[in-house]
Amino acid sequence: MTLPHLTAEARSSALKRAIAVRQERAELLADLKAGRISLQDVFRRSDPVVARTSVRRLLESLPRIGKIRAGQILREYGISETRRVRGLGAHQKSRLLTLFPAEG
């Protein structure tokens, strides 16, 4: 697949959008890590930032969940290592929400 030829202006615009998306994703994961939002709050959002976030990164951002435990959860629930949030089925989301209920 060849990449489209972009003008300098279009390339600059695309880079700015990419930076903004990365910052928004980092804020989302930081809020999850700090407990300011719950996994349920994340699943309720329908924006592309959440949809394109890796389930593994999402799990690793939960308090007290590291790389090893996140991998164990993915294997136990039959979720691919490369699965994005938008690709989760209803049962997979439900099982994750049962494992990590909203506190409060």
User: Does the pTM of the predicted model rise above 0.95?
Assistant: no
Q: Is residue 2 part of a domain?
A: no
Structural domain including 20 reads: 14-99
Q: Is residue 8 part of a domain?
A: no
Q: Is residue 4 part of a domain?
A: no
**Tokens at 44, concatenated:** 């309720």
How many folded domains does the chain comprise? Answer: 1
Q: What is the pLDDT of residues 27-63, one digit of tens each?
A: 999 999 999 999 999 999 989 999 999 999 999 999 9
Q: What is the pLDDT at residue 1?
A: 67
Q: For position 64, which CATH number holds?
A: 1.10.8.50
Q: Is residue 80 part of a domain?
A: yes
Q: What is the pLDDT at residue 2?
A: 77
Q: Is residue 45 part of a domain?
A: yes
Q: What is the pLDDT at residue 51?
A: 96
